[in-house]
Amino acid sequence: MSQIKIVNLQKSFGDFTAVKNSNLKINDKEFFVLLGPSGCGKTTTLRMIAGLELPTSGEIYLGEEEVGMLRASERDIAFVFQLFALYPHMNVRNNLSFPLKMQGYKKNDIKTRVEEAAKLLRIDHLLSSNISSLSGGDRQRVALGRALVRRPKAFLMDEPLGTLDAEFRELMCLELKKLHIDIGATTVYVTHDQLEAMSLADRIAVMDGGQILQADEPNIIYNKPKTKFVASFIGSPGMNFIDINEGISNEQSSISIEDVNFNIPKQFENSKSNKNFFGIRPENLSLTNKGGLKGSVFGVEYLGSRKIITVKTNIGEIKVKTDISINIKLNENVQIKPSNDNIIIFDGETDKSLNSEFMK
Amino acid sequence: MDTSRSYLEPSSFSKKIAAAIIIVYTVITLIPISWMVMTSFKNVDSAISYPPEVLFEPSLEGYVNLFTNRSRQSPEYLDSLPPPENWYEELVRSREMVITGPSKFLGRYSNSMIIGFGSTFASVFLGALAAYAFSRFRVPLKDDLLFFILSTRMFPPIAVAVPIFIMYRKIGLGDTHLGMIILYTVVNLSLAVWLLKGFMDEIPKEYEEAAMIDGYSRLQAFFKVVLPQAMTGIAATAIFCMIFSWNEYAFAVLLTQFNAQTAPPFIPTIIGEGGLDWPAIGAGTTLFLLPVMIFTIILRKHLLRGITFGAVRK
């Protein structure tokens, strides 16, 4: 097992730059998730770590060794594909043995290792089955097993649960997490599903447009997003952004929106723009009788344990996550205000969050 | 009402109609072939008798004539010879002839084999390499190159017969096995590249990537992972290439005379004494039909079997 370090990594396909000047450090034994919408460069980054794509420029370190230009087979990593990519002409045992055979292990060693991995993944009863007779979940277990038997320096997984149905995905998610705790292997996991990312990751890197926007622990990514994109991509629904048509200055601790004054965490820097955004998550807003931003109820969604209320105001629609007990009707006039100081100001020019008492 | 049957499934009545149409079609297409096979087992007289004989006494005369050269002799000379040593000599003697030696048929036939299988192998092998490259790599001007490759099939190959004839004579490829293999490969290659590219595109690249991570080189992954999965396409392509190069007549007439002449230009030259030797021609054509038929039957199971079924979820 070892740490993975990416330095100034860049990848272009012709005129298109898939990954821009990326830097990352993935710690030993960490479960690291690359999260982002499709086309954001997360898979390309993973494939470069694997050696399936060669970087246009930059370096990749696996442990102490620079592997950027090495062949995939020379890097001692294992890759789990979304489509599993099990060898269709081999049975389960041969699929699991294949990587070991290629590395020249002895027959007995292969047998013990394969059976060990199969037991860990609870597929030992399937060893002589054909791949085509397996269910989706079992195929994914075999694919994991094929990665596991090698005891590689790192596991790379490209949306391995993407093709499973929802129920199974949850189950496999739990198993993956448990597996990671059991074997403690450095894992890089690519997904576009924030729930998967949140539940699996030790740390998450959010990517967009070929750039790594933020790499942090899940709760920091969620609560203290560094850019507007991260704030809107994470969370369901994403963060509310309210336009502020004024500059923000250092030491400022209140703000007026639609003639209503709101306290904000003390800001530590000046904004570069005169058009900024007031960011707040729906669960940090509450309905009030007076002293809030006025609007009318536009929609109510029941989520079982919570309700999401969309309020139409003069400055756009704002989503509020409330307790299920609140009884509210469509078109009712309401007022909303922040219920705590989890408020982030995003600079209109850079889309980055301003440093503040809350963000520090 | 019968609810066990889906509405999309054809009724048993329309299935019967379909079967009837297929049977009629099969009979129509098989008549000339069966007539040819029958002719090969007739003797010279019954082959040209009128009205044609459908029921006849089978004879191997056509096959004997196909494989031998014979000369007509006087009855006195025939009587002076020792008694015939085997059945085919006896058959020839009964026609007042003696066997003077083996005919050229076997040589021409093996030329066809060498050139047919050689060019099929070359077309499929080179085609698979090119198709893989076009399918997986960023080849500059990919679309233009593919169109260029296809454009070589936009005119009948025989349109370039004269320049090829002159070129082959200059560089010494005329009437050689190698020359014919190269020529048929060139003609078949564009078809092979296009057909195989379609099949390779269907194979998820994850297979060879997984194999490459597990320790194969790109070339090993191609031979051991991609090719086995492209078997269906390779079989289909091989059959098409084989049929073309096996049956090709015009170039064979033009470019081969002795050394590398294939069976198609040879068979029509089998002329008996005092008229065409129809049974021998029938025998030659029947034997000529067999290899492609056997080749197709062997590869048929690959055409029908999707070996990647179920291994990848899409």
CB spacing of A132 vs B217 below 8 angstroms? no
Query: Is residue B90 domain-resident?
Result: yes
Q: Is some CB atom of chain B closer than 8 A to the CB atom of A14? A: yes
Start-to-end C-alpha separation, chain B: 37
Query: Is residue B124 domain-resident?
Result: yes
B160 and B274 together in one domain? yes
Look at residues B57, B79, B103 and tell me which one is the last residue of a structural domain: B103
B84 and B231 together in one domain? no
Look at residues B103, B130, B146 and tell me which one is the last residue of a structural domain: B103
Query: Is residue B10 domain-resident?
Result: no
Q: Is some CB atom of chain A closer than 8 A to the CB atom of B138? A: yes
Q: How many domains does chain B have?
A: 2
Residue A132: in which H helix or E strand, if any?
Answer: none
Instruction: Tell how far CA B135 is from the center of its chain.
Output: 28
B213 and B138 together in one domain? yes
Domains of chain A: 4-228 (3.40.50.300), 237-346 (2.40.50.140)
Which residues, other chains included, contact B98 with Cβ-Cβ below 8 Å and sequence gap of 6+? Answer: B70, B71, B73, B78, B81, B89, B92
A188: phi then psi, degrees, rounded to nearest 5 = -115, 125
pLDDT tens digits for B11-39?
A: 888 899 999 999 999 999 999 999 999 99
Residue B151: give its domain's CATH number: 1.10.3720.10
CB spacing of B213 vs A102 below 8 angstroms? no
Contacts of A150 in chain B (CB under 8 A): 214
Residue B291: in which H helix or E strand, if any?
Answer: helix B278-304
pLDDT tens digits for B271-299?
A: 766 677 889 999 999 999 999 899 888 88
Q: Is some CB atom of chain A closer than 8 A to the CB atom of B207? A: yes
Specify the length of chain A in residues: 360
Q: Is some CB atom of chain B closer than 8 A to the CB atom of A145? A: no
Query: Is residue B270 domain-resident?
Result: yes
Contacts of B202 in chain A (CB under 8 A): none
B94 and B163 together in one domain? no
For B49-76, give one letter per residue: b (16+ CB within 10 A) or e: eeeeeeebeebbbbbbbbbbebeeeeee
A5: phi then psi, degrees, rounded to nearest 5 = -130, 135
Report for A320-329, B73-82, B118-127, B130-139: range of highest mean pLDDT: B118-127
CB spacing of B310 vs A102 below 8 angstroms? no
B206 and B171 together in one domain? yes
Query: Is residue B4 domain-resident?
Result: no
Please state, in angstroms and as integers, the Cα–Cα distance from residue A323 to each residue in A282, A287, A307, following that order.
Answer: 12, 10, 6
| A234 in Cβ contact with A206 (< 8 Å) | yes
B123 and B151 together in one domain? yes
**CA A290 to CA A292: how far, in whole Å?**
6
pLDDT tens string for chain A (360 positions)?
A: 689 999 999 999 888 999 999 999 999 999 999 999 998 999 999 999 999 999 999 999 998 899 988 988 888 899 999 888 888 878 999 999 998 988 889 999 999 999 988 988 888 899 999 988 888 888 888 998 898 888 888 999 999 888 778 887 888 888 888 889 888 889 999 999 998 999 999 999 999 999 999 999 999 999 999 999 999 999 988 999 999 988 899 999 999 888 888 899 999 999 999 999 999 999 999 998 888 899 999 999 998 889 999 999 998 899 999 998 888 889 999 999 999 989 999 999 999 999 998 988
In 3D, which of B237, B248, B235, B243 has the Cα closest to residue B292?
B243
Contacts of A163 in chain B (CB under 8 A): 313
Give this prediction's pTM: 0.78
**CA A33 to CA A176: how far, in whole Å?**
13
B137 and B82 together in one domain? no
B168 and B253 together in one domain? yes
Query: Is residue B309 domain-resident?
Result: no
B172 and B266 together in one domain? yes
Q: Which of A71, A88, A98 sits opposite B311 (nearest CB)?
A: A88
Concatenated DSSP letters of A7-67: EEEEEEETTEEEEEEEEEEE-TT-EEEEE-STTSSHHHHHHHHHTSS--SEEEEEETTEE-
| A187 in Cβ contact with A201 (< 8 Å) | no
Q: Are β-strands A293-302 and A260-263 bridged in parallel, bridged antiparallel, or unpaired? A: unpaired
CB spacing of A136 vs B207 below 8 angstroms? no
The interface predicted TM-score of the complex, written ipTM, equals 0.78
B79 and B111 together in one domain? no
Q: Which two tokens stand for residue B40?
A: 């090969």
Look at residues B56, B75, B103 and tell me which one is the last residue of a structural domain: B103
Range of the domain at B87: 44-103
Q: Which two tokens stand for residue B293?
A: 């038929």
Which residues, other chains included, contact A304 with Cβ-Cβ below 8 Å and sequence gap of 6+? Answer: A324
Query: Is residue B300 domain-resident?
Result: yes
Query: Is residue B20 domain-resident?
Result: no
CB spacing of B211 vs A87 below 8 angstroms? yes
Q: B229: distance to nearest CA of chain A, Å?
A: 9
Q: Is some CB atom of chain B closer than 8 A to the CB atom of A132? A: yes
Q: Which of A14, A79, A82 sits opposite B213 (nearest CB)?
A: A79
DSSP lists the bridge partners of residue A159 as none
